[in-house]
Amino acid sequence: MAKTRASCAAEEAERDRYATVDRRGKTVIPEVSLRRSARAQARLSKPIVKPITKPSSQKKPSNGARRRLLTPSSVSSDELAETLAQRDADYVLSDPVEPEIEDQADSGGPTEWVTPQKNIDARSARPPVEPLILISVLGRRCVVTLISNDLHSVQDAHILAHASDLRVTIAFQTFMVIERLNLGSRFNRVFLDSRMHIAYDHGQLALIPVFADLQRLLRALQKKKLPPAPGQDEEPARNAAGFTPHEQVFPRDDEREFHIVPLSNWGDVPIMRKVDVDGDEYRLYRPPWTNPDGTPSLPMAKLHCSPYFVTYKAYLALKQPGVRAPLYPREVDLVIMNGQLMERYMK
């Protein structure tokens, strides 16, 4: 096909863009060469081989992701028992339904009071809640407000902190006459609504045993001889160190009354409590927590808990600077005396 005049003119203009002038002043138009050099052809004739790199032996920097922890909700019970048994030979997976009831031979305490080696393992599974429901007087209800767990707000709360210092656990083992203390025991746990749980852990709320129980606890801590517990005929025996086993001081199956005491650092937040567990009526309690005649307005709580744990927890709250419980002067004095004596065994 013959080139048009316009296309020829365009080609000439394109060549002129790359044209150069030689020494004699002539215009030289470069020719396009499609031939490759020998070096380029040799390079292209070789096969392309990708290098195989070995994985680095250096550890990659952590991206902040936390290691997966084994819990009963993430693995089966068999896998959990096997994994925990490999880490701690004394670990025994608790029965999730039936509470453990064993004889307390030689004052060593039932297995329920036994904690794994090193006393506290923060990674171990939380104790099952079903045995606590069975032993609690009101089931899974807050012992302060009496509300149910319909909104999933009632929590399984430790009385003596699960992460307590080793000196604390050893002292409790000594004066309670327990081989190894398990702070996950049902007798160190109680059901509390989430707000009451926070206040209890922050030392704004206390549960205080009745005066007679505080007196009996003090005699036991002083290594004195105790009279028989209510419903028992024989006097409790003491060990070589002079301490009475805790279940002879306060029998295991007894339900005990405790004062519900919002402390002086509570603030002005009222407490709403059901008048009756089976009813629909509520009553609002406000500071200073007294009836018109000056008596305490908040009812007492009937609990399964050990007065040993409850008393020391109350002592820790009352030893805070400026914290008081003016409605219970006699009980507070005994709480302080018991707590100070407990701390003496922690030295």
Burial 191-216 (b: 16+ CB within 10 A, else e): bbbebbbebbeebbbbbbbeeebbeb
- Which of 66-75's residues contact partners 24+ apart within 8 Å by CB, and which partners? 69/123, 70/123, 70/125, 71/125, 71/126, 72/125, 72/126, 72/128
- Which of 28-34's residues contact partners 24+ apart within 8 Å by CB, and which partners? none
Q: pLDDT 10s per residue in the chain (347 long)?
A: 455 666 666 666 555 555 555 555 555 555 545 555 666 666 655 555 555 555 555 554 444 444 444 343 444 444 433 333 333 222 232 333 333 333 333 333 333 433 433 444 444 467 899 999 999 999 999 999 999 999 999 999 999 998 899 999 999 999 999 998 999 999 999 999 999 999 999 999 999 999 999 999 999 999 999 999 988 889 999 999 999 999 999 998 889 999 999 999 999 999 999 999 999 999 999 999 999 999 999 999 999 999 999 999 999 999 999 999 999 999 999 999 999 999 999 98
The answer to the question of residue 174 being in a domain is: yes
CA distance 313 to 325: 14
The answer to the question of residue 39 being in a domain is: no
The answer to the question of residue 208 being in a domain is: yes
The answer to the question of residue 47 being in a domain is: no
The total of structural domains in the chain comes to 1
User: Residue 269's domain spans which residues?
Assistant: 77-344
The answer to the question of residue 6 being in a domain is: no
The answer to the question of residue 66 being in a domain is: no
For the sheet containing 256-262, what is the strand order? 205-209, 256-262, 301-303
Structure tokens at 224: 């004195």
The answer to the question of residue 7 being in a domain is: no
The answer to the question of residue 103 being in a domain is: yes
